């Protein structure tokens, strides 16, 4: 079992508690995002641009985005269970989500980040 | 010049990567296409993962080709556990860097598609895995999970096409598994991308017996067996059956070996069965099929040959005990390791399982002669067609190995023609039919040689009895009506003939005596006559001398008278 899976397993256990916590601490919630890209092709660049844009717009100052090039670090592709590229993994807050593609569909990106429903409610 | 061309042509031929799976290499004429992908499709539980994994394991262990197993369905831990039960230690191979298992987790509920993407992640992981252990073989099990994980089929399809050409470029021999679809070979049409070799696995139920089958649907650039081949998943992996030759190419030795019954040898042209031939002994219940077979075993063991006995009716103990009662003691040979008895219930498992078990024992024991007793019991396990198919394969295999085989077959009906042991008589080289003959309210055992390929054989129905020293074939006694006399009528006839012979010899003696006395009488007569002859001769002599004396005296007297008369001497 890879490290990522182990984290995910523990995530599942704590998810209910975490969810409650997240509800309370919504304001100081931090988004930890990892964007895995395969080289710096047009798809990668588009994905990077798009996600930065979305983050700035919907969670300014509350996110930490890291871009990983799996060409240069193939091991991360294995550890992160990456199949498609580009893949954005929302490590935090739980639950873990994978967003694949060039992040053009903002609606779907927000849905994947659990931001859509929240904004809808608010 | 020609030689040169033929070698280059040979070099040009498709290279094969041996699978090491029992039998599969025979059917594929050497293995899977080297450096190309092969698609293995089949329904759930048909053994796709096993085939893929065994291909890697055998490659790593036997052919020095490390392998990467990309698992989409099971984690490394699960795989390790599953294969441990088949006797494969994945951890050991993984520790030696001969095998790498990469579990790719795809869960649609976690994935949100937000635009254009490709599967570069998969390529990179695969590339990393291949390069890290220098893999020559790759298995992707089951690639179709991708279709359930990703929505965009257009992207997927182009990526799959890219994947297969990438694998070819890498020069790895790949096995890709795919779930069988309803109308197509695979649910998502993977066969479209893998054009070189497609293998279909199937697990089907027929009359409550499951049979796994394997078929090579296509194999570009190579000859291959086109049939459906049964295969088994056993404690040591997969084995495809049978390991048959694709042609009738077995040798036909001219040597003969004894049947164990001297007079039967004579009936078969003098020396018994041909070595490496198959003999069918058919007969109704109790006619002595097992006895014939055991007699043959005993003879083989006496010659120091190895004998393998497959029993489908009796336990080894029962066979040895029963045979001892007719003076065939097999126990010493079993003890010395010359003979083995393998007993199993026909219903215990499917036909193919029987066949594999038999093949396996054959390969380990390497016998010179084999007995299958009775072959007819196997019909209970499958349909007639299946049995015939299986037996054909088994017999082929035995012939190929030059093993002399005696099969017994129980027939229901007492008849001389149409006795057809599962329609297999045509496969057999020699056929001996045992039957009961009913006469004078007796049942007697008789047999005839119905056929014996390539040798002259007796056409006579012979009676045999089971004695305390084995099978004894009796002399032929033909009754007045021309029928064979058996049992007590034979005994009566025997006695009659004996009596006749005695009286004949008595007659002879008397006649001899008569003649002798006649001769003696004649001798005596001759003696009498001889004496008479002597006497007559004596008489004759006497007469002659008497006459002479008389003449002399007469002459004397005359001269005396003239002397007195003083006459001159007569002129």
Residue B378 has what DSSP assignment? Answer: G
Give the per-residue pLDDT at A13: 57
More confident residue, A102 or B243: A102
Whether A63 and chain B come into contact, CB under 8 Å, resolves to no
Query: Residue B326 in contact with residue B471, Cβ under 8 Å?
Result: yes
The confidence score (pLDDT) of residue B246 equals 47
B116:A102 CB<8 A:
yes
Q: Which residue of B has its CA nearest to A39?
A: B120
Q: Nearest Cα to A81, choosing from A36, A111, A47?
A: A36
Name the nearest CA neighbour of B369 among B431, B308, B292: B308
Tokens for A69? Answer: 């090039």
Q: How many CB pairs under 8 A join A and B?
A: 107
Please list, in sequence order, all residues whose beta carbon lies within 8 angstroms of the beta carbon of residue B455, skipping any fewer than 6 positions away: B256, B268, B269, B274
Which residues 4-23 of A have a C-beta within 8 angstroms of B? Answer: 5
pLDDT > 90 in chain A, percent: 0
Residues 59-88 of B with CB under 8 A from A: 75-77
Using alpha carbons, select from B72, B79, B171 the residue that is nearest to residue B127.
B171
Question: 0.90 cut: is pTM over it?
Answer: no
Side by side, which strands form the sheet with A31-37?
Answer: A63-69, A31-37, A87-92, A97-100, B111-113
Q: What are phi and psi of B226, to 5 degrees?
A: -105, -5
CATH topology classification for A29-112: Glutaredoxin (3.40.30)
B102, B110, B124: residue with CB nearest A98: B110
Please name the residue of chain B whose CA is at the shortest distance from the CA of residue A111: B112
Handedness of CA B415, B418, B423, B429 (dihedral sign): positive
- Inspect the interface and report whether the beta carbons of B121 and A87 lie closer than 8 Å: yes
Residue to mutate among A43, A45, A82, A83, with most B CBs inside 10 A, is: A83
Q: Which pLDDT value is given to residue B445?
A: 87
- Maximum alpha-carbon separation in chain A: 41
Average predicted confidence (pLDDT) for chain A:
77
Residue pair B374/B410 in contact (Cβ under 8 Å)? The answer is yes
pLDDT of residue A121: 40
- Please tell me whether the interface predicted TM-score (ipTM) of this complex is above 0.90: no
- Determine the pLDDT at residue A117: 58
CA distance B462 to B446: 5
Degrees, nearest 5: CA angle B68-B73-B76: 50
CB contact under 8 A, A82 and B121: yes
Domain limits, chain A: 29-112
Q: Tell me whether B506 touches chain A (CB under 8 Å).
A: no
Contact B112 A97 (CB under 8 A): yes
Secondary structure of residue B29 in the 3-state scheme: coil
Three-state secondary-structure class, residue B138: strand
pLDDT tens digits, A5-28: 565 655 555 666 666 665 555 555
CA distance B356 to B358: 5
Predicted local distance difference test score (pLDDT) of residue B527: 94
Instruction: Give the distance from residue A120's alpha carbon to the nearest chain B alpha carbon, in angstroms.
Output: 19
Per-residue model confidence (pLDDT) at position B1: 46
Report the pLDDT value the prediction gives residue B206, as an integer from 0 to 100: 66
Taking the CA of residue A12 and the nearest CA in chain B, the distance in Å comes to: 13
Order of strands, sheet of B369-373, starting from the edge strand that comes earlier in the sequence: B339-343, B307-311, B369-373, B404-410, B278-283, B430-439, B442-452, B462-467, B470-473
Check B114 against A101: CB less than 8 A apart.
Answer: yes
Q: Which residues of A84-103 are buried (b: 16+ CB within 10 A; e: fewer)?
A: bbbbbbbbbbbebbbbbbbb
Return the pLDDT at B387: 72
CA distance B176 to chain A (A): 17
Distance from CA of B168 to the nearest CA of A (A): 20
pLDDT tens column, A78-96: 888 888 888 888 888 778 8
The stretches in chain B having pLDDT less than 50 are 1, 3, 243, 245-246, 416-419, 421-422
Residue B407: both structure tokens together? 């099969």
């Amino acid at each position: 079992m890879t490290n990522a899976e182990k984290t995910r397993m523990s995530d599942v256990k704590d998810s209910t508690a975490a969810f409650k916590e997240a509800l309370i601490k919504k304001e100081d919630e931090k988004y930890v995002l990892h964007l895995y890209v395969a080289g710096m092709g047009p798809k990668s660049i588009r994905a990077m641009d798009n996600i930065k844009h979305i983050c700035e717009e919907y969670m300014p100052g509350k996110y930490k985005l890291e871009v990983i090039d799996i060409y240069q670090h193939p091991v991360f592709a294995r550890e992160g269970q990456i199949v498609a590229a580009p893949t954005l993994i929302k490590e935090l807050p739980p639950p873990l989500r994978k967003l694949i593609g060039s992040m053009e569909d903002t609606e779907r990106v927000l849905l994947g980040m659990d931001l859509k429903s929240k904004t809808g409610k608010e | 010049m020609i030689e040169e061309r033929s070698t280059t042509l040979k070099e040009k031929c498709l290279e094969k990567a041996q699978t090491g799976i029992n039998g599969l290499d025979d059917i594929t004429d050497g293995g899977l296409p080297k450096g190309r992908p092969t698609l293995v499709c089949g329904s759930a539980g048909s053994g796709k993962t096993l085939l893929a994994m065994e291909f890697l394991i055998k490659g790593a262990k036997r052919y020095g080709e490390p392998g990467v197993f990309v698992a989409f369905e099971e984690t490394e831990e699960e795989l390790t556990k599953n294969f441990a039960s088949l006797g494969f230690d994945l951890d050991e191979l993984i520790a030696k860097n001969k095998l790498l298992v990469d579990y790719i987790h795809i869960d649609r509920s976690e994935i949100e598609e937000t635009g254009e993407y490709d599967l570069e992640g998969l390529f990179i992981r695969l590339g990393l895995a291949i390069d890290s252990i220098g893999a020559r073989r790759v298995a992707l099990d089951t690639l179709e999970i991708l279709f359930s994980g990703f929505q965009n089929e257009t992207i997927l399809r182009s990526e799959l096409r890219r994947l297969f050409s990438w694998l070819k470029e890498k020069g790895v021999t790949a096995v890709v598994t795919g779930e069988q679809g309803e109308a197509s070979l695979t649910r998502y049409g993977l066969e479209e991308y893998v054009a070189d070799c497609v293998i279909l696995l199937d697990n089907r139920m027929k009359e409550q017996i499951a049979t796994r089958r394997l078929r090579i649907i296509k194999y570009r650039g190579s000859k291959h067996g086109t049939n459906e081949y049964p295969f088994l998943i056993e404690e040591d992996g997969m084995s495809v059956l049978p390991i048959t030759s694709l042609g009738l190419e077995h040798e036909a030795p001219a040597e003969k070996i004894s049947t164990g019954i001297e007079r039967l040898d004579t009936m078969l042209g003098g020396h018994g069965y041909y070595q490496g031939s198959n003999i069918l002994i058919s007969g109704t219940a109790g006619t002595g099929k097992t006895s014939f077979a055991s007699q043959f075993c005993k003879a083989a063991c006496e010659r120091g040959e190895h004998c393998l006995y497959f029993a489908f009716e009796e336990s080894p103990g029962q066979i040895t005990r029963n045979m001892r009662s007719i003076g065939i003691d097999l126990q010493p040979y079993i003890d010395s390791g010359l003979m083995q008895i393998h007993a199993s219930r026909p219903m215990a498992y499917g036909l193919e399982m029987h066949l594999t078990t038999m093949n396996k024992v054959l390969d380990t024991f390497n016998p010179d002669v084999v007995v299958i007793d009775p072959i007819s019991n196997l019909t209970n396990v499958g349909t007639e067609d299946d049995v015939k198919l299986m037996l054909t394969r088994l017999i082929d295999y035995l012939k190929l190995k030059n093993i002399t085989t005696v099969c017994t077959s129980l027939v229901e009906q007492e008849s001389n023609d149409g006795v057809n042991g599962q329609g297999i008589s045509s496969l057999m080289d020699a056929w001996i039919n045992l039957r009961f003959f009913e006469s004078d309210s007796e049942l007697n055992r008789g047999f005839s040689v119905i056929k014996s390929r390539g040798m002259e054989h007796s056409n006579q129905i012979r009676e045999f009895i089971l004695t305390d020293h084995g099978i004894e074939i009796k002399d032929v006694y033909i009754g007045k009506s021309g029928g064979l006399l058996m049992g007590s009528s034979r005994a009566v006839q025997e006695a009659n003939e004996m009596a006749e012979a005695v009286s004949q010899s008595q007659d002879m003696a008397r006649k001899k005596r008569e003649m002798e006395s006649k001769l003696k009488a004649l001798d005596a007569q001759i003696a009498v006559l001889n004496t008479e002859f002597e006497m007559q001769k004596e008489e004759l002599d006497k007469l002659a001398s008497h006459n002479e004396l008389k003449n002399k005296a007469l002459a004397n007297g005359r001269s005396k008278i003239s002397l007195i008369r003083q006459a001159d001497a007569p002129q």
